[in-house]
Structure 1
Amino acid sequence: MSLQVSPVLVGRDGETSRVAEAFDRVAGGGLATLFVGGEAGVGKSRLVAEFAGRAGAKATVLCGGCVELGAEGLPFAPFVAALRGLVAADPAGFDRLLPDRTDLAPLLPGSVRGPAPLGDDARPRLFEGVLALLGKLAVERPVVLVIEDAHWADRSSRDLLDFLVRNQSAVPGSMIVVTHRSEELNRAHPLRPLLAELARVPWAERLDLGRLGKRDVVNLVRHILGHEPDPDLVRSVYQRSEGNPLFVEALLDCDGTGGEIPASLEDLLLSRIDRLPPDAAYVAGLIGLSEVTVCHALLSAVAELDERALSAAVRAAVDANVLVVKGEGYRFRHALIGAAALSNLMPGERQALHKRYAAAMAADPTLSAGAPSVTELAQHLYRAGDLPGALCAAWRAAGEAQRLLAYAEQLQMLDRVLELWPLVGDACRELGGVEYATVLEQAVEAASRAGENVRGEHFATLALAEIDRDAQRVRAAALLDQRARLRAQLGQPGALEDHREAIRLVPADHPARGHLLNSYAARLMEIPRADEARDAADAALESARHNGERSAEASALITLALLDARLGDLDGQLPRLQRAGAIAQTLGEHRVHLRAIHEESALLRAFGRLDAAEAKARDGLEVTRKTGLQRAFGALHSLDLAGALIDGGRWDEATVALEQALDLGPAPAFREHLLCLKGYLALQWGDFDLPERLLVRAHEQFGDDVRFTLDPFLVARLETELRVTQGRYGEARSVLERALGHPNLTSAGRLLWPLLVLGSRLADHDPSWRGTELLTRLRRIAAELPVTGPVQLAFSRLFTAYTDGDRKDWEAAAEAWRDLGQPLPLAYACLGAAAAAITADGDREAATELLREAHGLTERLSAKPLRDRVTDLARRARIQLVPGAAGNGHPRLGLTPRELEILRLVTAGKANREIADELFISAKTASVHVSNILGKLGVANRVEAAATATQLGLFD
C-alpha cells in the first residue's frame, strides 16, 4: 500500500503566518532570512514547499538542496542546482540578465566557455557575483532563495551562504530560506556556530518546528484517511509517533489501522520499501547507494532492467511516496527512507552495485544530475574497492574542486589521493606521471587557501622531503616560502630559517627572488627587526628592478616607506606609499595596492591623524568593493576604520564598522581580532560578560598566548584591563607578566606603550603595586622604548604620571591627549590631574575644572566604569560635577552630606587615618566629624554608629 500523505499542511498555522509575514516585508522592499529547523520528518520541507508554491506567482524562487556526502560534500551543490533551475526556466531571460557569466562559472558547469577564473580574487568575485545576480533579479520582482538540508552543506556552500546572508542588505526585496535538521547539529557540527552567528543579523530569524500536539495529530490523521478516525487509532498513533508527522504517516501506512507497529522507525521505513514491487525495491536500493539525485539515464545504465520495466518500477516508487522527481532524476522523499533502503543491502551487494555505477559513469561522464560527475565517480570507485580507479578519479575531482574555487573540498580529494597513493602499485603511472611531491604541493596550496594552516605546514614539510633542493631550487624555494608564512601565522619556530633558505636557493637573476625577499622583509618587520627588514627590502627592490618585476618593486617600496615612517618621517613617506600604491593599481595588483592603503591608514592613526586615517580606511573599503575583494580584504580595512573611530571616541560608529567587518566572514585571526575590539568597547561601557566570553573564546582557539599579527598585545590589554576593572589585581599582574615575555619586546613600541600605561594604572588601583619588581621592570622598559610621534609621546607622559604621580606630569599628559583629540585617555589624564591637584596643592578650583572635563568626556562616551571613578572622586572631594547641583544629606538624622559620607566609611570599618586618606582631609578633621556623628545619632561608639546605619538601611 502506498504511503498516504495529507493533502493539506496541518498544525503549522503559526509557522506559515511567520513565513508569510517575512515575505510581505520582502515584497515591500525589505529583507528576510529564515532558518527553519527541526528534527527529521517534522515537516520542514513541506512547509517550505507550500510557501514556495504560493510565492512563485509573485516572486522568482530559486531552490537548491544539499546532498549527504559526509566530508566529501559536493562543492556549492545547492547553488549549482538553484542556478540550473533558473537557467532552465528561462534561458533567454537569463542571457539578458547575465550576458557575462565568467565570475559565476563554478556554479554554471558547462554553460561558460573558456577556463574558469582562478587566482586569489576568483572566489571573492564568485561570491560577489551571486549577490549581484540576486540583486538583478530583485529589481524586477522579489527573489527567494531556498537552501534545503543545510546540515549536509559542504564547506564552500556554507561560506557562500554566510556571505549572502551577511551582505543581504545590498539586495532589498530578497528572502533566503534555509532548512536544517536540528538533531544533526551537535557541538562539533560546522553549521551550528554559523547559524548562531547569522541569527544575530538584524533581518534573520530562526523558525523551529516542533512536534505536533494531539489535536493536530487528530487533524493530520483525519486528512490522511479522509474520514473521522477511530479514537483508539489516534491515541496509538500519537503515542508511538510522539507528534512527528513522518512517523504518523508511516504508522498509518500499516493498512490505515496503526495496529502493526514496527519496533523502530527503521523497521517502519523498511516495511515501506519491502511492500514495494520487487523491481521498485531494487531501484530504491540503487538510488540509496548514490546518495544524490540520480538522473534517469544513469539509473537506466546501472539497473539490470529494460526501459519499460525501469519506468514502471520508478513510477511505483514515486506513487508510493518513496521517491520524488527532482529535475531529470530521482531522490528519496525523505533521507531516512534512503537510509533504510541502503541498510537493506548486504555489503557484497553494495560493492557490486557501486562497481556498476562506476562503470556506467566511466563509460559516459555526462550521466550525473546536479553534481560534478568526477566527484561522484570517485565516491563509487572508492566504495567499490577499485583503488587505482578511485585514485585517478579523486585526482580529477581535486582539479574540479579547484576550478570551482572550493578549496576545502579540493583538500579533501587530495587527502584521498594521498591516502590511496601507497596502496596503489604505481600511483605515479596511474596519474600519467604526476609525482607524489606534486600532490603534496597542491595540498599545501589548497590547505593555505582553505585556512587549514596546520595541515598546510605539515604537507609542505612532507613535500620538501620529496624533492632534491639542489636540483629543483626554485620549486624548493617556493615551498619553503609557503611553509615560512604558514609557520609565522601559527606562531611556530623556523619561519625565518625557511625564508633565508628559500632566498639562498634562488639565483640572483631569477624573477622569483624579489618576491621571496619581500616575503622575508615583511616577516622581519612583523617580528619586528627593523634593520634586517630594511636590508631585505632594499635587496628586494634591487632584484625587482633588475628583473623588471614591478609588483615586487611596489611591495619593497611599501616596506621601506613603512620602516622610515616608524622612525618619525611620516610626511616624507606618505608620497612614497602613494607612489607604490599607484604602481600596483596600474598593474592591476590589487593585493599590493590594498596593502599600501592599509599601511598608510595605520601610520596616520599611529601618528594621531585620525580624520586622515579614517578617510584612507574608507578608501580601502571602497577599493575592495570595486575589485570584488570585500570578502578577502574587507576585514583588514574595517579594522583600520574601527581603530580610528575608537581612538576618536566615536564608539557607536566603530561598533557598526566592526559588525560590518564580521559580516564579511573574515579569517579566524581577523574575526577574533574584531571580536576583541567589540569586547574592549563593551568593557568601557561597563559590560564585563561579553569581554569575558570573548577572551575564553580567543584562548580556546589560539592557546594561552594569543597574539594577533596586527596587534600582538590586544588580548593582553583587554584581559588586564578587565581584571583591573573587576578588582582582580593579582590576575592582572599575571597577564601582564606573560605579555612582557614577547620576543623583541621593545621593538614593538607603538603597540607596547598602551600596555605599559595599563600596567602603570595598576598602581592607581592597588597600592601594593608600588615598589614591586614588576613595576620596576615596566619603568626600565619604558626608559628603553623610543618615543616616535605625538601619540607615543602622549602615552609616555601618561605612563610617567601614573608611576611618579607628579601634578605637572599629569597636566602634561592631559594637554598631550587634548591636542590629539582622543577622549578616553584624556579623561584618565584629567582624573589623575584632578587627584594630584587636590592632594598636592589643595587646588580645588583646578580639580573642579578637570573633573568636570573628565565627567563630560565619560558621559559622551558612556564609559561607565571610568565615569563612576570620576563621580567617586568628586563625591569624596565634595566637588559638584554639575554647577548649581546641591548635595543631599539626611535631614531626619541631622547629618550633613560630608558626615553621611564619613558614616558610610565608618560602617565599612575604616579607621580615621583611612577615612582621611580617602576623603583628602586630615586625620584630626576626620576624628572631629566622627565625634559629631556619634552625638547626632545618640550612640556611644563607632560600632553602635555602624549598627544604627545598617539598621536604618542608609547605604543599601
Structure 2
Amino acid sequence: MSSQVVSPVFAGRREESARLAAAFALATAGDPATVLVGGEAGVGKSRLIEEFLRTSDALVLSGGCPDVSGGGLPFAPFVAALRGLPGELTGTERDTLAPLLLTPAPRAGDDARLRLFEGLLALLARLAGARPVVLVLEDVHWADRSSRDLLDFLVRNQRAAPGTLLLVTHRSDEPGRARPVRALLAELGRVPWVERLELPRLSKAAVVAQVRGILGHEPDPEVLREIIARSDGNPLFVEALVDGGPEITVPASLEDLLLAGVEQLPKAGRDVVRAAAVGGARVPHSVLAAVHDGDVTGAVRSAVEAGTLLVDGDDYVFRHALIRDAVHASLLPGERVALHARYAAVLAGVPGAQSRLAHHLSAAGDAPGALAAAWEAAGSARRSLAHAEELRLLDRVLELWPDVPDGAERIGHDHAAVLEHAARAAALAGEPERGERLATVALAELDRGRQGARVALLLDQRARLRGRLGTGGALDDHHAAVRLLPARHPARGALLNSLAEHLLVVPLPDEARRAAELARDEAHAAGDDATEASALITLAVLAARIGDLDAQLPLLAKARALAESAGADGVRLRSLRFEAHLLQAYGRLAESEEIARRGLAAAHEAGLARSAGPDHAVDLIGTLLLAGRWAEAAESLEHAMELTQQGTIHTHLLAYKAYLALHRGELDTAARLAARARAHNTGSAPPPTLLLVPRLEAELALARGEPAEAARIILPALEFPHLAVSSRFTWPLLVVGARAAGAAGDLTLLGALIDQAAGTRIAGPVQAAEARTFEAEAARARQRPDEALWETAVAAWEPLGHPLHLATALLGLAGARLATGTGRDAAVLPLRRAAELTAALGARPLHEAVTALARRARIALPGEDDAERPRFGLTARELDILRLVAEGLSNREIGERLFISPKTASVHVSNILGKLGVANRVEAAATAHRHGLLGPPE
C-alpha cells in the first residue's frame, strides 16, 4: 500500500484555479460572485476548493449536504457552516438564526422563515465588512429543499453582501433525485454574477504527475499505462488504483476498485467501515461506538490511517461518497437490516435525531416506530422553519398509516390532523396546489357537526390557498368558515378578518366593511390585538376610498400601535403600506414619501427588508415618479428589482420602469418592459397591477402612432370588476382611453368611457384632477375642444405637484386656445410653462409635442437658464447624498436611507468627491459646510 492516499501534487487544475482566484478578486472588490463547481464523482471538486482556500486570507464557512434519503437535519450545510460562529454573533443574530444554530427559536409566525433567510444574508454582509468571506456548500446534489431555497435566496441577493464569495459543488452525473437541484442550478446560472465551472477529467500528463506524487518515485511504465487507461483521468480512481497494494493491480470492476482499500483493513476496521456506511454520510463517534461491537477506537484508527474514513470534529465521514456507496452496496440485506436496527436503538431518544431514527426504523422494518419517529421529526422540522422537509416527513407518516392500525394512538392525532399539518406545511413551503388538495382531503374526513371549529379553520386555510391560486371557491370557503363558528369564539375574529381582506380585493366593499366591523368587535372581545389592528386597517382603507382620508389616518395610527404592542410586524407593515398608498392617492406626496420610507425602515428593522421592503418601495417609487423626481425613482427601481424577481410586486416595478422609459422617449425599452409586465400579470393580481398594465400598453401604442391598437387594449379593460370601486386606478385608464378614442376616431369606445366615468366615484383632489382631464379629453375626442374644461384641469393639477400631469394639461389648454380662436397670445404662457416642466423632467416626447405646437403657432420658447445650476455642478440628488455623507453615514447606510444599492451610493459619493475636488468624505463634509451647501433638503 502507498505511503499516502492523496497526492501532495495538485495536478492539472491551473485554469480552474485561476477562475476561482478571479471570482475571489471580484468579491473582494465589492462585486457579487458565485461559482457553481460541477463534475462527476471523484473528479476533484473538493480538492480544487481546498487548494484554492489554502492561500486565501478569507473567513471560510463550510458545510456539506448529506444524502437526505437517510434522514438528517434541515439546512444541514448551513448548520455546519455556522458551527464555529456562535461566539461572534450578536444576541439579535442568535435569535434570528436559531434554526441554523440548533437552538430554540424565540419567535414563530409565517414570516420567521423570511427573517431567517434575511438574517443569514445580513450576517454574511457584516462579517464581510471586516474581511472577505467564502461560503462553501459541498454536494448540493443532495441538498434538502430548505437548503436549496436558502441557497437560491443568498445567490440572488448577494449584492447585499459585498465581499462574499459563494462556492457550490455538485455532481453533474447524479441521476434522478438530483433533478430539482439541476433545475435550481440552471436558474442560478442565469444570474449575472454566477459562473458555472465544470471540471473535466485529468489529462494523461496530469495523471502521471498525480501518480508520481502519491508514490514518491517514478512508477513502472506498464502499470502507469494501465492506471491511465482504467482511471480515464478520474483522480479518485487514480488514488484507488495506486492504493491497491505494493504491487499495483487493476481490479476488474469499479466496485472492486473502490473496495480494494477497505478489504485490506483488519477485520475490526472492515466491520466499523460497514457500520459507518449504514449510518449515513456523517456518523458521530458516540453513535458509531454504540453501534459497533468491540474496540471502536482501534478499529476506526485503522480506517482513518488507510484514508477510508476522515475525522471531522466529533464525526467520521468517508473520504468520498463513492466509497461509502460501494461499501453499502456490498452488504447483504440481512446485514443492513441488523445494522439499521442497532442504529435505531442507539438513536431513540437522542435530541434532533428523529429524522434519522425514522429512516433507520423504516429500513429495519419497524413501521409503527418509523411512523411515530417521522411524526416527531416533522414537528422538529416545523420548529426549524424547514417546511418542505416537514411536508416530506408528513408524507412518510401518511404512507405508513395503512400499515399501522393504531397510528392515531401512537402519535395522539387522527389521520385528518396529519393532513391538516401537511396542508399548512405545503402552504408555507410554497406549494399552494398541494396544500389545497391536502386540505380538501382532510375536510372530507371531518364531521362539520361534531368538529365545527376544526373544519372552520381548515376552510379558512383552503380559502387563502385558493385565493393565492386564483382558482375560485375562496369566497365560499371564507363564508362557510365564518358560519361554523359561534359569536365570541376566540378564532371568529381572525376568520372574519380573513374574509374582509379577501372581500377588499374581490372587490365587494360593502360586504368587506360589514365583515371588518364584526372582525374588529370579535377580536377586541377576545383580546386579539393583531386581528383587531388588521380589521381597523381594512375599515380605514374602505372609508378612504370613498373620500374620507383625514378621519382615517388616526385609525391607521391606532392599528399600528396595536400591531406593535402585539409584536405583529406583518400587520404593522400593512398599516404603513396602506397609509403611504392612500396619501399618494390624495396627492399628499411629501407625506406619502415619509411614510413609505418609514415602511422601508420598519421592514429592515423587522429583518424583512427583501421580502416586505419591495411592497413599500412600490409606494416610494410611485411618489417619486409623480413628483417628477425621475432620477431618484430610477435608482430606487433598480434596487427594488434586485430584491424581487417574481410576483405581483415585480410586475408593478416592471410597469413603473416601462412607464419611465416611455415618457423619456425610450420606446423600444418601454415595449420590452411592458411585454415582461404583461407576461407576469395574472388575473389574481390586485387592482393596481391589473389596471396599470393595460394603461401602460395603451399609452405605448399612442406613442407609436397606433391609436386603433390603443383603443383595442382599453375596451376589454373596461370590463374589469375593479373599476367600479377602485376609482383611483380607473380615472387614469379613462383619460388614456379618451386620448385613444379621439386619435382613432372611435366613438363606440368614447361612449363606453363616458358611461364608465358617469358611474365612477371621485375621491380626493387627484381623482378630481383626473376627472377634469377626462372631460377635456372627451370633448377634444368629439372634436369640440373646450378651453374652459382645460383651464379647470390645469387649476386642479396646479397645487398637487404632479409636473407631468400639469404639463399635459397645459399643452391641452394651449391647443384648445389656438383651436377655438382665443388667440395666439393666450397660448404663450401655458406653452412656455409646459416647456419648462417637460425640459426639467426629461419628458422628451411631451416636450417635443410642446415645441412642435409652439413652432406651428410661431411662439418662441425660452432656453434653459444656466444660472440656476447647483454650485460645484452638484445635482439635487448629489446634494441629498452629501448631507448624509456629512452625517457620517457609510455607503451601505446611505443606500438603506434612500433605498438605493450600496454600489449606486458609492458611485454618487465618488462623483461628489470629484466635483468638490476633495480626497475623502471628511474633506467633502468640511467643504460643504464652508460653502453653505448643506441647507434643508429640497
TM-score class normalised by the smaller sequence: 0.7 to 0.9
The range that moved more, 611-620 or 658-667, is: 658-667
Q: 2:33, 2:241 → 1: CA distance? A: 34
Which of 449, 457, 469 matches 1:490? 469
| Equivalent-residue separation in structure 2 for 1:459 and 1:156 (angstroms) | 20
Equivalent-residue separation in structure 1 for 2:256 and 2:818 (angstroms): 86
Letter in 2 for 1:34: T
More off after superposition, 415-424 vs 724-733: 724-733
Structure 1 unpaired stretches of 5+: 88-92, 885-956
Q: Is 1:525 matched up with 2:525?
A: no
CA distance in 2, matches of 1:164, 1:572: 43
Q: CA deviation at 1:789?
A: 1.5
Deviates more, 1:593-602 or 1:171-180: 171-180
Aligned residues of 1:211 and 1:242 also touching (Cα < 8 A): no
TM-score, normalized by length of structure 2? 0.78
Structure 2 counterparts to residues 296-307 of structure 1, below 5 A: 296-302=285-291, 307=296
Shift of 1:469: 2.2
Counterpart of 2:137 (choices 136, 141, 147) is 147
Question: Structure 1 residues 306, 241: closer, same or farther in 2, change over 3 A?
Answer: closer
Deviations 1:403-457 (A, max 9, x none): 10112221222222223323432321232x3112221222232223223222222
Of 488, 496, 506, the match for 1:509:
488
C-alpha displacement of 1:731: 6.3
2:756 to 781, 792, 806: 781
Partner of 2:97: 104
Deviates more, 1:131-140 or 1:652-661: 131-140
Relative distance call for 1:365 and 1:215 in structure 2 (3 A) is same
Name 1:211's counterpart in structure 2: 200
Determine if contact 2:93/2:123 at 8 Å carries over to the other structure.
no
Tell me, yes or no, if the aligned pair for 1:31 and 1:173 is still in contact at 8 Å. Answer: yes
The Cα shift of 1:798 comes to 3.5
Distance 1:118 1:544, change over 3 A: closer
Output aligned runs, 1:39-438, within 5 Å. Answer: 39-40=39-40, 41-55=42-56, 58-69=57-68, 74-86=73-85, 93=87, 101-109=94-102, 112=103, 117-131=107-121, 133-134=123-124, 137=127, 142-164=132-154, 174-181=164-171, 189-192=182-185, 195-196=188-189, 199-200=191-192, 204-206=193-195, 208-211=197-200, 217=206, 220-221=209-210, 223=213, 268=254, 271-274=257-260, 276-277=262-263, 287=276, 289=278, 291-302=280-291, 307=296, 310-311=299-300, 314-315=303-304, 318-319=306-307, 323-339=309-325, 344-345=329-330, 349=332, 353=336, 356-365=339-348, 372-431=352-411, 433-438=412-417
**Residue deviations 1:816-841 (CA, integer Å, cap 9, x gap):** 44543334444554555565566665
Q: In structure 1, how many angstroms separate the alpha carbons of the residues matched to 2:151 and 2:641?
A: 14
Kept in 1, the 8 Å contact 2:74–2:381? The answer is yes
Q: Is the 8 A contact 2:17 2:48 kept in 1?
A: yes
After TM superposition, give the deviation of residue 869 of structure 1 in Å.
Answer: 6.3
Deviating more after overlay: 295-304 vs 75-84: 295-304
CA contact (8 A) 1:753 1:796 kept: yes
Q: Which runs of 5+ in 2 are unaligned?
A: 865-938
For 2:530 and 2:92, locate their aligned partners in 1 and report how far apart those are by CA, in whole Å. Answer: 32
Counterpart in the other structure of 1:552:
531
The answer as to whether partners of 1:73 and 1:152 remain within 8 angstroms in 2 is no
- Report how far residue 610 of structure 1 moved: 1.6
Distance 1:880 1:98, change over 3 A: same
Change (3 A) 1:297 1:583: closer
Paired AA for residue 746 in structure 2 = R
Alignment of 1:757 onto 2:740: no
Distance 1:610 1:351 in 2: 75
Give the partner amino acid of 1:361. Answer: A
Assess if the C-alpha contact under 8 Å between 2:284 and 2:316 holds in 1: yes
CA contact 2:651–2:681 (8 Å) conserved in 1? no
| 1:575 to 1:337, Cα distance in 2 relative to 1, 3 A | same
Distance (whole Å) between structure 1 residues aligned to residue 179 and residue 154 of structure 2: 24
Which residue in 1 is equivalent to 2:896?
A: none
Cα 1:630–1:136 change in 2 (3 A) is closer
1:794–1:816 Cα contact (<8 Å) kept: yes
Tell me how far 1:807 sits from its aligned partner. 5.1
Task: Determine the C-alpha separation between the residues in 1 that align with 2:232 and 2:772.
Answer: 70
Instruction: Report how far residue 9 of structure 1 moved.
Output: 3.3
Q: CA separation in 2, counterparts of 1:336 and 1:843? A: 89
Does structure 2 retain, via aligned residues, the 8 Å contact 1:72–1:409?
Answer: no
Q: TM-score, normalised by structure 1?
A: 0.77
Evaluate the alpha carbon distance shift between residue 5 and residue 845 of structure 1 in structure 2; reply closer, same or farther with a 3 A threshold: farther
Deviating more after overlay: 600-609 vs 118-127? 118-127
Q: Does 1:770 align with 2:749?
A: no
Amino acid paired to 2:761: P
CA distance in 2, matches of 1:645, 1:821: 11
Separation (CA, whole Å) in 1 of partners of 2:668 and 2:345: 58
The yes-or-no answer on 1:626 pairing with 2:601 is no
Contact in 2 for aligned 1:437/1:467 (Cα 8 Å) = yes
Kindly state the Cα deviation for residue 402 of structure 1 after the two structures are TM-superposed: 0.8
Counterpart of 1:461 in structure 2 is 440
Query: How far apart, in 2, do the equivalents of 1:834 and 1:236 lie?
Result: 91
Seen in structure 2, the aligned counterparts of structure 1 residues 212 and 359 have a Cα distance that, compared at 3 Å, is closer
Structure 2 SS opposite 1:36: strand
Shift of 1:877: 7.9
Structure-2 change in CA distance of 1:597 and 1:233 (3 Å): same
Give the conservation status (yes or no) of the 8 Å contact 1:484–1:499. Answer: yes
Task: Indicate whether 1:641 and 2:590 are aligned.
Answer: no
- The DSSP-based 3-state class of the residue aligned with 2:550 is helix
User: SS of the residue aligned with 1:713?
Assistant: helix
Quickly say closer, same or farther: Cα 1:18–1:117, change in 2 above 3 A: same
**Identity of paired residues, percent?**
46
**2:724 is the alignment partner of 1:746:** yes
Tell me how far 1:375 sits from its aligned partner.
1.4
- How far the C-alpha of 1:7 sits from its partner, in A, is 2.0
**1:926 aligned partner:** none
Alignment of structure 1 residues 27-38 onto 2, 5 Å: 30=30, 32-38=32-38
For 1:830 and 1:338, the matched residues in 2 are separated by 78
**Cα displacement (A) at 1:387:** 3.0
The question of 1:800 aligning with 2:775 is answered: yes
Q: Quote the residue 2:935 is aligned against.
A: none
Distance 1:761 1:555, change over 3 A: same
Q: How far apart are residue 506 of structure 1 and its match?
A: 1.9
Task: Pick closer, same or farther for the CA change 1:182–1:668 going to 2, 3 Å.
Answer: farther
Alpha carbons of 1:479 and 1:44: their partners in 2 closer, same or farther (altered >3 Å)? same
> Which residue pairs with 1:903 in the alignment?
none
Q: 1:876 to 1:36 in 2, by over 3 A?
A: farther
The DSSP-based 3-state class of the residue aligned with 2:97 is: helix
Map of 2:913 onto structure 1: none
Distance 1:356 1:244, change over 3 A: closer
Offset from partner CA, 1:848-892 (integer Å, 9 cap, x none)? 7766666665565555666676677778888887859xxxxxxxx
Q: Secondary structure at the match of 1:620?
A: helix
Q: State whether residues 756 and 799 of structure 1, in contact with CA within 8 Å, keep that contact through their aligned partners in structure 2.
A: yes
Contact 1:163/1:664, CA 8 A, preserved across alignment: no
